[in-house]
Amino acid sequence: MGNNAAGLYALTEEHEAIREAVRDIAEREIAPYAAEVDADSRFPVEAQKALTAAGFHATHIPEAYGGEGADAIATCIVIEEVARVDASASLIPAVNKLGSMPVILAGSEDLKQRVLRPIAAGEAMISYGLSEREAGSDAAAMRTRARLDGDSWVLNGTKAWITNSGISEWYTVMAVTDPEKGANGISAFAVHRDDPGFAVGPKERKMGIKGSPTCELYFTDCTIPADRIVGEPGTGFKTALRTLDFTRPTIGAQAVGIAQGALDAAVAYVRERKQFGKAVAEFQGVQFMLADMEMRIEAARHLVYVAAAAGEQGHPDVTRVSASAKAFASDVAMQVTTDAVQLFGGAGYTQDFPVERMMRDAKITQIYEGTNQIQRMVIARSLLR
């Protein structure tokens, strides 16, 4: 990161305006449904409608394809402010970016027009299919295959833990096209849910982010037109890794938002709650916990914005700083939400307050888009190279 990564960004008036607008929508149209979405494990349709109506569902898509063309920090702010009230809902803009980034980075002009336009218009969503049951952190060990058959690609295999599966219309799927070449034999494809031989499995029963469906994807001689390959054959894994440089900061943003929501709830609660004849907020032990929570969130937020800007500016250290932002912010979210539950005491352990949900939701940010153990490997490898 050298000495110059911190100088990569400055928040603009436009960024602040976006934060204000999204916070308003989140408080009014997303927060009231968050507990019910979690309890019923149902997709947050209210959030989807509200975000789409305001143009905040996929702000990253370039204007050339009907999108807002927002910068990476703006997209992080949108995700952060939605996650502050409902982490499940924040996966709408986050996964739209994750699924479409490979197409933006490597897709043909024709494929970009076909896939990105409906997403920008809010008519479709897109998911990302990299992981498999036996190929998680070791994604290159994937077994899903694709073979060229005339003017079609035929896919066979299974993808696992796919976010927003069943809701999304489009799926960016990584599959092996040349088994001899290892990671250099993996290609990326844009699959549509109506393609023959494609099916979505049952929903996983999860600890958190229950409003966002997570399922397996099944490919049984799934046949797609040859021009739906994303980039050249054999470049899919490189595209997948480049994508993560751009999307790991969005997971950091999600983590920051969850942590901020938990801190805000905790501050409000300890001011009201009385014990030993005074507000719990008057105890120094409590004040120090709040101070630590605030410091960590603020540090994480800045690191996330630095990482977002690094991706946009093609900074040479983007991989390292993105991994740092994701790992640091998600560890902060887990710590802050755990402390928030503690500050609520017995009440925090019940579903009458949002902090137990935030704690459950925070956990996934340490796991998906590369576990924090993998992020540490990425950071160390970059330092020692």
Q: Which residues are catalytic?
A: 369
Judged by phi (left if over 0) then psi (alpha if -120 to 50, else beta), residue 66 lies in left
Three-state DSSP at 217 gives: strand
Counting every residue, how long is the chain? 385
Three-state DSSP at 140 gives: helix
CA distance 69 to 210: 30
Could you say which DSSP state residue 136 is in? Answer: S
Burial (CB < 10 A; 0-12, 13-18, 19+), residue 233, is middle
Structure tokens belonging to residue 85:
């009230």
CA distance 356 to 32: 16
Structure tokens belonging to residue 229:
């390959």
Dihedral, 333, 338, 340, 342 alpha carbons, nearest 10: -170
Three-state DSSP at 206 gives: coil
Could you say which DSSP state residue 204 is in? Answer: P
Burial (CB < 10 A; 0-12, 13-18, 19+), residue 385, is exposed
> CB–CB of 328/254 below 8 Å?
no
Q: Output phi, psi for 154, to 5 deg.
A: -115, 120
